[in-house]
Structure 1
Amino acid sequence: MAQKIKVNVMPNIVDKVVTYFDPVKGRQRLQARAQMALTGSYIGADKSRRSFRNWFTSGNSADDDLLPDLPTLREHSRDLMRNAPLAAGAVNTVVTNVVGTGLAMQARIDNQFLGLTDEEANQWQKNTEREYRLWCENRFECDATSTQNFYGMQDLVFRSALVNGDVVAVLPSRQLPGCAYGLKVQAVEGDRLATPPDLITSPNIFGGVEVDDFGATVALHIADRHPNALARVRGKVNFTRIVVRGEKSGRVNAIHLFRRTRPDQRRGEPYLAAVIEPLKQLDRYTEAEIMAAVISGMFTVFVEHAADEGAPAPIDGGSAPGSEPEIQLASGAIVDLEHGAKASIANPGRPNVAFDPFVMAVLRQIGVALELPFEVLIKHYTASYSAARAAMLEAWKFFKIRRMWLADNFCQPVYETWLAEAVATGRIAAPGFFADPAVRKAWCGAVWLGDGPGSIDPLKEANAVEKRIDIGLTTLAEEVAAFDGGDWETKHSQRTREHRMRREAGLLKLPSGIAAPPDPPSDNTDQ
């Protein structure tokens, strides 16, 4: 049955005047206004409804909505990471699946555009990957703080971007003794990216991000220390203006890593921003239930005496007559009460049987906001193989998008900056690298491979891989990269060596129907 929508239109002064002189015309005016009010109206925009009366919204820009609340969002997000297991588990799950042991670079140059044969391109790529590992796997080469290699820095910057909303990677040139390259990566927490006090009224600086007339980031203003470190470090906070790209060379000097969700958005919001309140409330509820269960477990016996009985000797745990009673809950305690006192023991009913279903229901909503299926969020696979695999596949859509985002916005710019230095210093030959942007792009081609998703039923998934390769849906290189992020050519070379060694050792089984070759003649013959 169709639902009738009733629209009440109150007559205004003109309607009343017209109705006074011509009631028919007045009624027609009211009908026309009612039709206009009904046409094109959205219930979701009707603020007169009771359900919307306490719903306060704003139509501000991306920066006006985010920047005033960003410091508080960061503080809450970091507190949840420290004290709420569910929040820490969600972020750790994303970092582990997106970064894992690190995204490895494999050079993929456009050899046809560069006029190279396949053999020449393959040799150049292997030499470049070997030279790149010299830089990325040495913490003194790649890290400005000499603490982590480049794989560890991927984990650091990605985790910081999730927890804080954004992170800055500065790329200074600092030549250290015994190092082949001067390029270093310095991770800067988002708290240090701020607008200097003397530029607070500047119309083109938003939260420390300086933009041009087109909205492109041209410079970042970085404080020399964390804003909350002032209690330990005395003195004025100094800011450094870092140009994002060199005006003449085009070299990348800094990378502002954040996920952009609105046009004209200059800062990023924490990954947990939409679920901070339910996560905190769920953490409080869990703590309260644990405390209630602990108190319920401390079953205490109270000994009660009639008023006319003599005062007995206090039982261990009780109080002597005439002294101030000290009554407290304890595991297996027996408390002796004063004469005439009566104890009422309340049963808290813990553990609460409804605790787990309620928590699971809330976690399902949190998982939707975080793009993590419920099973992946809590690491609990109790359904069928199909349901568990569907959850993993859905999660890996999200992980692959975030992995590509990290590779495109952090790993690839750093690699291109490193390659430019390697070519400029003569360690790698790349003709035309600095002469033509198209040639430079062809030399900088690369793919970034990470850990695979694993498998629930290895046999079923191996059979599926074999079928996909047989009918031409995929290649061995793609399947190896998806399985464990490895390189098919490296595995092929290793398998070739293993096969040859096993054949030479006589460990390979011959197909049925083929006789084994005769043993070689012995050197010792009978005389």
Structure 2
Amino acid sequence: MGFIEKTLGVVSPGWAAARAKNRLKLQAYDAALPSRTQKTRREGRSADTAVFAAGTSLREQGRWLDENHDLVIGLLDKLEDRVIGAHGIHVEPQPLDLEGNLHADFAGQLSALWAEWSIRPEVTGMFTRPEAERLLLRSALRDGEVFTQLIRGPVAGLQHSTSVPFSLEMLEADFVPMNLNSTAGQQVRQGIIVNAWGRPTGYKVYKNHPASLSGFSTDLKTIGADNMLHLAMRKRLHQLRGISLLHGVIPRLADIKDYEESERVAARISAALGFYIKRGDAASLDGEAEYSEPGNSRHYDIAPGMIYDDLKPGEDLGMVESNRPNVHLYEFRNGQMRAVAAGTRGSYSSIARDYNGTYSSQRQELVESFEGYNVLQQWFVGQHSRPVYRSWLAMALNNISIPPEVDRTSLYNALYLGPVMPWIDPVKEAAAWKAIVRGGAGTEAEWTRARGKSPQEVKRQRIRETEYNKEHGLVFDSDAANDKGATPDATNNEPDNTKSSKNDD
């Protein structure tokens, strides 16, 4: 106990003991103590307060980088590829019959309706479902959040694009005002209406984009939480609005861009430099005045292999040497991109397009990075794909008849499949899957889904192929039934070595 604690102990022993205890706690954690070489920066604000202060700025910076920085464009493109893919999140309906088996016919009917709706699922009619999903994911990752209004049934001025009266209205984060807060009547926090438990019950939405060419409008409408999906990147508990995925790497990305631009400019300047003429002391110069008079400066057109022999007394010819481009730029840039990948759930190889390394090292990186992609994929499915499909199915069931043998409690069962981990070496990957299936540790359907295909569709195609081949007498290695080994006739035609040996005897 120090001098101050001893002095306080005379007046208030409890206070003195508490102060001494807190001093010991601070001494036990060096990271809590500021020093000359360590800056102790702390965050004591609530999640909503922190997002309110920085969310809009980070969103706008992320958009600028997505428009102007090649690394950010490539990063977001690759996340679209790995999380959504070219064909979007594949939804495979799984309605069951009363015996617990898949009702294939009804599942096929739902799949056909879903495929038709996926052609034009949103109100503008500009995007297919995979295109819309990629845009929604990109907006959510770059801006931190994106909103989707579910439009059900007849709506004035809107014509649904398919037979199912259900459409999506995709809204950028700007449509929900960040600075709208109120405690009078409805409790509104950052444009979201919440109840006493903090659960969103509605959203305040601008009727037009606040930065549209038609001019800013303050007209707001209220959309109930049942009709609105909020895909948000949340990093803390009790956080309503999302934060950009780039929030931790924006300074590094800006530094990389500035540094690369400086190196490019320096390399261009170095490439434009030629030679210089070095003069001696003043005593060796003849007619110094002629150099200083206007119009007497010497200019030369440099050409490959030229010989210059017009030096005056006391002059020397020198070449401008440059250390550009910087030989360490590649190594430094790659190190920075590894840090960017670590802060964005990406992989260095995909961002840098650097695929050097052995099969084992590439696969190790791919396996580790794909776990991050799977996290984002499940987040997207849970917050967007599943509620969209269930809302669509609720509307579709009004227009189709449900077979009596279908278990109605299983109507909303479905599998949600996104892009799978690509194969680095197809031969090794196929051999591994074959061993898993033959060993009973996996199924053919699991193998098919791992390739991003529908097991039912693959089976149907295989049945059609094998039946067609048998009908027309076609034999291929793809049908294992054709591989029957040596026939009995072939065995009988072989020479009998045993009889020959006996005759020789």
- CA pair 32-190 structure 1, distance change in 2 beyond 3 A: closer
* Pairwise CA RMSD: 3.9
The match for 2:24 is 38
Structure 2 residue corresponding to 1:308, chosen from 260, 268, 286:
286
Distance 1:34 1:235 in 2: 58
The match for 2:146 is 167
Distance 2:41 2:446 in 1: 50
The match for 1:429 is 402
1:11 partnered with 2:9: no
Q: Secondary structure at the match of 1:269?
A: coil
**Contact 2:278–2:318, Cα closer than 8 Å, also in 1:** no
The match for 1:180 is 163
- CA pair 366-326 structure 1, distance change in 2 beyond 3 A: farther
Q: Secondary structure at the match of 1:67?
A: helix
Pairs within 5 Å for 1:378-389? 378-389=352-363
Distance 1:355 1:329 in 2: 32
Q: RCO (CA 8 Å, sep 6+): is it higher in 1 or 2?
A: 2
Q: Secondary structure at the match of 1:240?
A: strand
Distance 2:45 2:76 in 1: 29
CA drift at 1:321: 6.4
Bigger mean CA deviation after superposition, 78-87 or 211-220: 78-87
**Contact 2:123–2:160, Cα closer than 8 Å, also in 1:** no
CA drift at 1:416: 1.1
Distance 1:239 1:446 in 2: 36
**Contact 1:204–1:210, Cα closer than 8 Å, also in 2:** yes
In structure 2, what residue type is equivalent to 1:429? Answer: I
CA drift at 1:82: 1.4
In structure 2, what residue type is equivalent to 1:271? Answer: L
The match for 2:459 is 492
1:411 partnered with 2:408: no
Identity rate of aligned residues, in percent? 23
Distance 1:285 1:267 in 2: 33
- CA pair 328-203 structure 1, distance change in 2 beyond 3 A: farther
Distance 1:489 1:320 in 2: 88
**Contact 1:301–1:334, Cα closer than 8 Å, also in 2:** no
Structure-2-length-normalised TM-score: 0.82
**Contact 2:83–2:376, Cα closer than 8 Å, also in 1:** yes
Q: Secondary structure at the match of 2:205?
A: strand
Distance 2:236 2:368 in 1: 24
Give CA-to-partner distance per residue, 1:206-238, whole Å, 9 cap, x none. Answer: 221111111111111111233333xx4346421
In structure 1, what residue type is equivalent to 2:436? Answer: R
How many positions carry a matched residue from both structures? 471
Structure 1 residue corresponding to 2:109, chosen from 96, 117, 127:
127
The match for 1:283 is 257
CA drift at 1:380: 1.5
Give CA-to-partner distance per residue, 1:170-198, whole Å, 9 cap, x none. Answer: 11244527741221111100012115768
CA drift at 1:432: 13
Give CA-to-partner distance per residue, 1:245-293, whole Å, 9 cap, x none. Answer: 2xxxxxxx11011133221110111111110001110111111111111
The match for 1:220 is 203
1:83 partnered with 2:75: no
In structure 1, what residue type is equivalent to 2:218? Answer: V
1:448 partnered with 2:416: yes
Question: Unaligned regions of 5+ residues in structure 1, if any?
Answer: 1-8, 19-25, 246-252, 313-318, 434-438, 518-527
In structure 1, what residue type is equivalent to 2:454? Answer: D
Q: Secondary structure at the match of 1:194?
A: coil
Q: Secondary structure at the match of 1:187?
A: strand
In structure 1, what residue type is equivalent to 2:357? Answer: A
Give CA-to-partner distance per residue, 1:465-518, whole Å, 9 cap, x none. Answer: 0111122222111111111x111121122122222323333332653422899x
CA drift at 1:445: 1.0
Distance 1:327 1:199 in 2: 73
Structure 2 residue corresponding to 1:96, chosen from 63, 81, 87:
81
CA drift at 1:301: 2.8
The match for 1:506 is 473
CA drift at 1:377: 2.8
In structure 2, what residue type is equivalent to 1:100? Answer: G
The match for 1:194 is 177
- CA pair 496-90 structure 1, distance change in 2 beyond 3 A: same
Q: Secondary structure at the match of 1:255?
A: strand
**Contact 2:233–2:244, Cα closer than 8 Å, also in 1:** no
CA drift at 1:329: 12
The match for 1:55 is 40
Distance 2:22 2:178 in 1: 49
Structure 1 residue corresponding to 2:450, chosen from 482, 487, 491:
482
- CA pair 345-469 structure 1, distance change in 2 beyond 3 A: same
CA drift at 1:70: 0.7
In structure 2, what residue type is equivalent to 1:43? Answer: Y
The match for 1:359 is 333
